[in-house]
Amino acid sequence: MNVESEQPIPASATAEASGEQGLRRAWAIARSTYHWLLSAAFFFPVASFLVVLGSFIDPRRNDGAQRWLCRVVMKLAGVNVVVRRAPGFDPARTCFLLVNHVNLFDPFLLYATVPQFFRGLELESHFRIPVYGWMMKRFGNVPVPDVNRPSDLKRMWRLTRAALDSGVSLAVFPEGQRTRDGHVAPFKDGVFRMALQFGTPIIPVSVVGAFEFNKKTGWLIRPGTVTVHLHDVIETKDLRKEDFPALRDKVHAIIAGPIEEGVGGARAAQGSR
């Protein structure tokens, strides 16, 4: 019985593979640094100008410039954006835009693609970030309290209702945090309770490809295509309080659908390499 002995891997081949890996890593770092610096160098001065301009001009009249800012930021970051609208998507409806949360570019991506005037619900702690927090406050985002004190929650509900009553839609990340694995995490209940109480419709939004572009667990950027799915409007005015778990689960399934397909496809492609 002949037994073939394993041939040792030549040291030169190991060194070559290690060298190629090192070159790929160096290229990824250089490319990411370039895109981050390019995006930041454009965003901060232009956004500051728009915020100051917003002190004198109605933000709605300045909406086009803000969308241009977000589109350019995404382009400089290396993203090719594709938008897919469902037949029942209605940009004229004041609504809650519920979106899966992936990375720091999500707000720019949304404002570059959703064709209606809206603002966002954002953690109150973000408003204390130097420069960025000042900008978000000036842009009119609604602060979400980090600590659920009754007085703070009442203030958030009051500001949310005021925004919706004035015709401003609100974007919300119902997961409450960025994904770590590319999947859609369970949703928190708050926005669904508000939607039912206010009778405000919901538009689910799926962002596909953003996890491959940039992850919460790292700063590297991998330029590519990100697809934004704008789903059908979901009415809430005839729903009761006890309907909110079913509504939450329905919205989660709609948002997660294209994302799970995208994650599966990406992993299959990696496995075939």
Comparing 250 with 151, the larger pLDDT belongs to: 250
The pLDDT score that the predictor gives to residue 267 is 54
The pLDDT score that the predictor gives to residue 6 is 56
Going by pLDDT thresholds of 50, 70 and 90, the confidence category of residue 250 is very high
* Structural domain contains residue 35: no
* Structural domain contains residue 168: yes
Is residue 174 over pLDDT 80? yes
Rounded distance, CA 187 to CA 192, Å?
9
- The residue segments making up the domain with residue 168 are 79-271
* Structural domain contains residue 202: yes
The pLDDT score that the predictor gives to residue 147 is 77
Nearest alpha carbon to residue 208 among 172, 168, 254: 254
In this predicted structure, which of 49-53, 54-58, 182-186, 225-229 has the lowest mean pLDDT? 54-58
**Average of pLDDT values for 191-208?**
96
**Average of pLDDT values for 2-31?**
72
* Structural domain contains residue 262: yes
**171 forms bridges with which residues in the sheet?**
97, 120
Q: Could you give the number of structural domains in the chain?
A: 1
* Structural domain contains residue 60: no
Question: Distance from first CA to last CA of the chain, Å, rounded?
Answer: 36
Is residue 230 over pLDDT 50? yes
- Which residue type does 237 have? K
Comparing 259 with 15, the larger pLDDT belongs to: 259
Asked if 171 and 154 touch (Cβ cutoff 8 Å), the reply is no
3-state secondary structure (DSSP) of residue 134: helix
Is residue 86 over pLDDT 90? yes
Write phi, then psi, for 85 (nearest 5 degrees).
Answer: -105, 130
Tens digits of per-residue pLDDT, 94-145? 999 999 999 999 999 999 999 999 999 988 888 887 777 777 777 788 888 8
In this predicted structure, which of 22-26, 31-35, 251-255, 262-266 has the lowest mean pLDDT? 262-266
* Structural domain contains residue 69: no
Rounded to whole angstroms, the maximal C-alpha distance in the chain is: 89
* Structural domain contains residue 108: yes
Going by pLDDT thresholds of 50, 70 and 90, the confidence category of residue 273 is very low
Tens digits of per-residue pLDDT, 26-82? 999 999 999 999 999 999 899 888 878 877 888 788 889 999 999 999 999 999 999
* Structural domain contains residue 45: no
Tell me, what CATH number does 250's domain have? 3.40.1130.10
Is residue 272 over pLDDT 50? no
